[in-house]
Structure 1
């Protein structure tokens, strides 16, 4: 059993990861903000803002982790445009604060930094599945801040900090915020089914292709990568987590609508069009397959059915 510290533990991914870690027999220490609810699947909960370096150092000392998974971040791209200062303070300085806290209080702990496929940005315009050595050409403040944080982690790795950077592609599932595309579609369908919204479904760019994964598959990948800590320094420092299969947003919508008996009119909403949209964003996953044997296991259709069931429940509970 390892003592695993998870920042951002009460977020969409954090909750699934804490449950996955506990189910695997690990002692989970969650870091959440002062106003957040305690995660259901944590053995210990600590409260601090990762932008507060002193408080974070105390939290890391209290946790005494063998491993750290750094999830805490501003992850919503539109928010990163609206509030770039908060995004950079949280995603970059919060990461540096964590690295310094580990240096002082847990120098031997293995750290996993959860970056994002968004760092590749304009490189996706090549129209091919990108490997980890592809150029990183961010197209929004969120992506730029993640790449800057990667630079900080790589510097600490150079100085001897054990750890790895992961670049997950689009991961989806129940409890994800309706700010994100699949949850937005499912929530609207559930509202239409319950006669709480006119039968009009507002969408953004349906032609874009993205590499979608179930959040549980992503967390299983994280779990397998934490085992790299037993391999000294003989492992890659950066790995994609992806399916390698591009899926059109139109396909996502069609599948969700097909799971419902209601008829809907699809209307494109200019406010939902991302200013940096690129036609296709797909990753190449041979490295993580080779290193850990991990591969995605959950079919997209099952994931979408789970998301729709979740939003039906939420809408019915609100009645």
Structure 2
């Protein structure tokens, strides 16, 4: 049994990870910013300072985790209102992560699992699924901050002896999902016609329970030390295929119009949403062979099972 500290434990992934770790018999402490946010079945530690300032001084006496899984982050947003988006991302995603690493190491941690993002590497796959060995070329402030955090943590790990494990998930979905995935389900539920029937771009996804299982392995498996991993579900659906599968599970058959991709991209440019339309109409797949070969990891759920569980949750709320 290991003692694991989870930051960002009240988020979609954090809740699933705490459940997974506890189910495997590990001693779990959830680090959250607000005391009114509960994480069932695990110990809770509330630290409300921005970007983990003062974390070392606030560290509970005698608390010595074996590993910290760092999920807390300033997340990607479509229309960022920050005066300097990169400075805001850097303060939380780079400097905050380093404060967590230093405090954890000072109090006995041997390993840090940093949950990065596929956006630290690229927005598109250019015809070949992304592998860990490929050069990273982030396209926005969020992705750049995640890549800089990875590099900063690698350097700190080399200096301090803290084992660093980087995990780069693609789009995460599951019950209680929000953002674009939720908007997609809302559109299907309302039976809106969607002009995406001709979009055959493929996207890697990861069901939240699969990601939680992979992170559990990364937290405790000695073979994960100082490695970077992509993680994904067993299939990479096309955009149209994903909508059809979700519509089937929602009992709301997708109404897809076969609008040519060239017209969609032109409309994106005209409406000021060219970048969003590019992301929607181009492939972004990841190669997860390293985590499968190194750790022997296989996701416990298929893509279809993950979509079915997400649809059941959605239907229960409507």
TM-score (norm 1): 0.83
How many residue pairs are counted as aligned between the two chains?
Answer: 300
- Does the residue aligned with 2:59 lie in a helix, a strand or coil? helix
- Once the two structures are TM-superposed, the CA of residue 21 in structure 1 deviates from its matched residue by 0.6
C-alpha distance in 2 between matches for 1:57 and 1:276: 45
Distance 1:302 1:86, change over 3 A: same
Task: Look up the match of 2:142.
Answer: 142
- Once the two structures are TM-superposed, the CA of residue 207 in structure 1 deviates from its matched residue by 4.4
Tell me whether 26-35 or 54-63 shows the greater mean CA deviation.
Answer: 54-63
C-alpha distance in 1 between matches for 2:142 and 2:12: 17
Task: Look up the match of 2:96.
Answer: 94
Consecutive unaligned residues in structure 2, runs of 5 or more: 258-263
Task: Look up the match of 2:44.
Answer: 44
- The answer as to whether partners of 1:4 and 1:67 remain within 8 angstroms in 2 is yes
- Does the residue aligned with 2:317 lie in a helix, a strand or coil? helix
1:150-299 alignment to 2 at 5 Å? 150-159=150-159, 160-177=161-178, 179-181=179-181, 183-190=182-189, 192=190, 199-200=191-192, 206-228=199-221, 230=222, 235-243=225-233, 245-262=235-252, 265=255, 274=276, 277=279, 279-299=282-302
- The answer as to whether partners of 2:164 and 2:225 remain within 8 angstroms in 1 is no
- Does the residue aligned with 1:166 lie in a helix, a strand or coil? strand
Tell me whether 17-26 or 294-303 shows the greater mean CA deviation.
Answer: 294-303
TM-score (norm 2): 0.83
- The answer as to whether partners of 2:5 and 2:30 remain within 8 angstroms in 1 is yes
C-alpha distance in 2 between matches for 1:263 and 1:214: 22
Task: Look up the match of 1:9.
Answer: 9
- Once the two structures are TM-superposed, the CA of residue 286 in structure 1 deviates from its matched residue by 1.9
Consecutive unaligned residues in structure 1, runs of 5 or more: 193-198
CA-atom RMSD, angstroms? 2.8
- Does the residue aligned with 1:174 lie in a helix, a strand or coil? coil
C-alpha distance in 1 between matches for 2:60 and 2:167: 21
C-alpha distance in 2 between matches for 1:176 and 1:74: 17
Task: Look up the match of 1:25.
Answer: 25
- Does the residue aligned with 1:124 lie in a helix, a strand or coil? coil
Distance 1:297 1:203, change over 3 A: farther
Distance 1:260 1:51, change over 3 A: closer
C-alpha distance in 2 between matches for 1:2 and 1:242: 25
- The answer as to whether partners of 1:57 and 1:98 remain within 8 angstroms in 2 is no
